[in-house]
Structure 1
Amino acid sequence: MDVSKRMSLPMDIRLPPEFLQKLQLESENSPLCKPLSRTSRRASLSDIGFGKLETYVKLGKLGEGTYATVFKGRSKLTENLVALKEIRLEHEEGAPCTAIREVSLLKNLKHANIVTLHDIIHTDRCLTLVFEYLDSDLKQYLDNCGNLMSMNNVKIFMFQLMRGLSYCHKRKILHRDLKPQNLLINDKGELKLADFGLARAKSVPTKTYSNEVVTLWYRPPDVLLGSTEYSTPIDMWGVGCIMFEMATGRPMFPGATVKEELHLIFRLIGTPTEDTWPGISSNDEFRSYLFPQYRPQALINHVPRLDTEGIDLLSALLLYNTRSRMSSEASLRHPYFQTLGDNIHNLADTGSVFSLREVQLQKDPGHRTSVFQPLSK
């Protein structure tokens, strides 16, 4: 009796004996082969322990913000580690709408490179989102390897990032807050997009839920100059900045203010003109800054470890004209990724890139501890 499969549950789930007993009794009265109705599936999930706080054990606090606290926990159903994101509902800062947005988006996203939302627990005072637990993020990974990554690993992380984004973009979902802290990494080196709280929001906020000022470092110039025409290219500029950071060990445009951020961008990529950014000369905000006319610099001088194909991809991501900026879908087929082999394009959505023998992480040159070892096949 393959209950887990019938109810679309994870294979490693430990079903409570009393639930199995109840199912046994029910099956004697009605054939089990019929698919469950939505109502009976929901009732059965509740019997198993989904949607209940007592199903999870809190192990310690991971972080706290104005209206949300994240705990490390363990599921009694699977014994797996989880991250419990508790969102207080009585707070007046409008938190629930971003939380509800995050829930509605993530519920439907099933991909190896997107963090899995396992469960939702709703009480009067609190909404708890139960996510899969990952040990690290890209920022910690870079710190851990002394900001000196193997170029092979940069490529594997970039492909996984593009893969997760392409899945979202095909479904008209934008992330809109890509940065190394939102790219989670587990001990196998699987990279997953997380924190979809800002996805599809109407404006780009200036504060995060923990009241930190949102970093401008990964924000595209069109948004910095007031554009509210959000589409998938908004994410691709940030991907380029993250690629540069992995390849060099330092943030590409670490500006503290909008003006400084734009200044850093223009100084490297060149001050935009009607040729590189049609319509820019009539942008009031751009005109008010009176930037000097910088010429674009050769990227290879700033990212010497990146090969020709890598420089080509980076250049295609950092284009001012959003219509020309390379998409996540097109990026996956870029020659830069050719060395990962053809099989990587035939993986199922939920398949890991590391299920392929030809995809293996190497030891990072600046690597300090033994957390990330090359995978033994």
Structure 2
Amino acid sequence: MDNDNKLDRFLKLGKAGEGTYGVVYKAKNKLTGKNVALKKIKLQKFYNKGCSEGVPSTAMREITLLKGVRHSSIVELLDVMYTTDKLYLVFEYLDLDLKRYMDHSKQPLEAELVKNYMKQLLDAIAYLHSHRILHRDLKPQNLLVDKEGHIKMADFGLARSFSLPTRTYTHEVITMWYRAPELLLGEKMYCTGVDIWSLGCVMAEMLMKRALFPGDSEIDQLYKIFRIMGTPQEDDWPGVQLLPDFKAAFPKWLPKNLRDIVKFNNTEEEILLKEMLTYDPAKRKTAKELLKYNYLKTAKLTTPDLTAFPVEETIDEAGPS
């Protein structure tokens, strides 16, 4: 079946979001009746810009990586279709992203829901890292949730495979607020710890309903971290002063007690978060190690309250053009 005929299977129900390289629509598969997320990428904009046949590198990376992974907490790429000037990625559909859910929730996330989400996310990250894949852009906007209590990682445009020993990669990855301190200090030899730090920031945001380190520039981001975690020293992070962007003139802040900033539901939450927000990447626990913590062993599927998020069924009769 050619791609034009395959596209006819889908009926657009409305726009679900928009990113750098394309628009995401909620659509329905006419054959199965199931909803999907349809990411449309216009190819002509990328010709002659170093992209493979006009396909942006982020889309190529996402397709390549997602075709090789299968996990209950990673969004599934169902199909790839193309026309002469457009590329369509068909994903399983979830109700909304974690950022929107937190922004519109009247109450902080329930303790059991936070635990449930963290168990699923760490399980997914352990799976990715065991397959030598870094996500590199974990943030609430890239985590999708549904009414059954599932949470799934999406948007693998910045993800990449890694090898051991680690190679030199660009440090200009991961949205600022969730970027690990080693990246902000110019480290180019990094590994799985960057995803763990990002997840720690996400966990703190679930507990606080606001970002823990909301910097507006790289230096402001560092200072936001330093003011809470303390300015890193050689005794707690050996080699930190040798990183390219570390300055001896950095202000010397002492670490604050996280309990004064984050409203923990219990001590186990605090322990898990501190392990994830450890300065020294060599001492930062892996996802596999964190999954052994008693806190996560009692996690169970917990249903979020999505009653405040009515699903709009605005039909676009024009189809996915």
- Shorter-chain TM-score bucket reads 0.7 to 0.9
Partner of 1:369: 308
Using the TM superposition, name which of 55-64 and 174-183 deviates more. 55-64
Partner of 2:18: 64
Number of residue equivalences: 297
Using the TM superposition, name which of 161-170 and 251-260 deviates more. 161-170
- For residues 242-271 of structure 1, what are the alpha-carbon distances to aligned partners after superposition, in whole Å with 9 as ceiling and x for unaligned? 111111111100000111110010111111
Q: Report if the CA contact (8 A) 2:148-2:304 is conserved.
A: no
Query: What secondary structure sits across from 2:302 in the alignment?
Result: coil
Q: Report if the CA contact (8 A) 2:4-2:83 is conserved.
A: no
Query: What secondary structure sits across from 1:164 in the alignment?
Result: helix
Partner of 2:200: 240
Q: Map 1:230-269 to 2 at 5 A.
A: 230-269=190-229
**Does residue 90 of structure 1 match 2:50?**
no
Partner of 1:9: none
**Cα distance in 1 for residues equivalent to 2:159 and 2:147:** 27
Partner of 1:52: 6
Partner of 2:319: none
**% same residue:** 43
- For residues 259-294 of structure 1, what are the alpha-carbon distances to aligned partners after superposition, in whole Å with 9 as ceiling and x for unaligned? 111001011111111111111122342116x22211
Unmatched 5+ residue regions in structure 2? 162-168, 311-321
Paired amino acid for 1:361: T
Q: Report if the CA contact (8 A) 1:300-1:306 is conserved.
A: no
- What is the alpha-carbon root mean square deviation over aligned residues? 2.3
Paired amino acid for 1:161: L
1:171 Cα deviation after fit: 0.5
- For residues 308-355 of structure 1, what are the alpha-carbon distances to aligned partners after superposition, in whole Å with 9 as ceiling and x for unaligned? 111111111111111111111111111221333xxxxxxxxxxxxxxx
**Does residue 310 of structure 1 match 2:264?**
no
Partner of 1:321: 280
**Aligned match for 2:91, one of 121, 124, 131:** 131
Q: Report if the CA contact (8 A) 1:147-1:248 is conserved.
A: no
Paired amino acid for 1:332: L
- For residues 44-92 of structure 1, what are the alpha-carbon distances to aligned partners after superposition, in whole Å with 9 as ceiling and x for unaligned? xx49x89821222222222334531211111123110111111122223
Partner of 1:292: 251
Distance 1:204 1:136, change over 3 A: farther
Partner of 1:32: none
Q: Report if the CA contact (8 A) 1:152-1:361 is conserved.
A: no
**Cα distance in 2 for residues equivalent to 1:51 and 1:224:** 47
**Cα distance in 1 for residues equivalent to 2:202 and 2:107:** 13
**Cα distance in 1 for residues equivalent to 2:252 and 2:60:** 45
Q: Report if the CA contact (8 A) 1:50-1:119 is conserved.
A: no
- For residues 32-51 of structure 1, what are the alpha-carbon distances to aligned partners after superposition, in whole Å with 9 as ceiling and x for unaligned? xxxxxxxxxxxxxx49x898
Partner of 1:225: 185
Task: Kindly name which structure, 1 or 2, has the bigger radius of gyration based on alpha carbons.
Answer: 1
- For residues 351-376 of structure 1, what are the alpha-carbon distances to aligned partners after superposition, in whole Å with 9 as ceiling and x for unaligned? xxxxxxx543376xxx98387xxxxx
Structure with higher helix content: 1
**Cα distance in 1 for residues equivalent to 2:278 and 2:235:** 11
Q: Report if the CA contact (8 A) 1:137-1:185 is conserved.
A: yes
Query: What secondary structure sits across from 2:285 in the alignment?
Result: coil
Distance 1:54 1:370, change over 3 A: closer
Paired amino acid for 1:160: Q
1:205 Cα deviation after fit: 5.0
The one of the two structures with greater contact order (alpha-carbon pairs below 8 A, sep at least 6) is: 2
Using the TM superposition, name which of 125-134 and 331-340 deviates more. 331-340
Q: Report if the CA contact (8 A) 1:51-1:121 is conserved.
A: no
Unmatched 5+ residue regions in structure 1? 1-45, 207-213, 341-357, 372-377
Paired amino acid for 1:90: Q
Distance 1:51 1:332, change over 3 A: farther
Q: Which 4+ runs in 1 deviate beyond 6 A? A: none
Q: Report if the CA contact (8 A) 2:97-2:140 is conserved.
A: yes
